[in-house]
Amino acid sequence: MGEKAIQLELDELGVAVNLPRPSHGRDGVQGVPYRPVQFRDNDLPTALMRCAEWLREVQSWLGEPVDVIAIHLDYDDREGAPYYDLKLLCNDEDLAGAPIAIHDRESSQRRLTAPARGTPDNQTASA
């Protein structure tokens, strides 16, 4: 049996068009979505080390630090589950690789507009 797709009416921010908005002019729904990245372990220092290793790896991949808005630490007392549940709330665009695409596009545009190698730039012929 196939699942039916649910149609959502979203605005340019990606939230429901019928979502009540804050009434004050200085308040509002922000347009940057964030996604939790989870590290679970029975040993908190181990979870923190894996988190730090992941942050270094993502920073290297992106070419810039990943945007982390919050760090959340929770506990799980269920039997057999890792006790510590560490979550980073990270920018969706960073996790999708948007900074890489922007950098690649800018590099491509610079190559297209740069003078060819070995071609004099802004030189006039001397008599």
Q: What's the pLDDT score for residue 32?
A: 65
pLDDT tens readout for residues 71-107: 999 999 999 999 999 999 998 888 888 888 888 888 8
Whether the pLDDT of residue 41 is over 90: the answer is yes
What is the average per-residue pLDDT within 25-30?
82
The domain locations on the chain are: 34-110
- CA 82-56-106 angle, 5° bins: 135
pTM of the predicted model as reported, rounded to 2 decimal places: 0.64
- To the nearest whole percent, how much of the chain has pLDDT over 70? 85
More confident: 53 or 114: 53
pLDDT for 67 beyond 80: yes
- According to the model, what pLDDT value does residue 127 have? 46
Averaged confidence pLDDT in the chain: 84
Residues 103-120 have pLDDT tens digits of 888 887 777 777 666 655
Residue 121 pLDDT grade (very low, low, confident, very high; cuts 50, 70, 90) = low
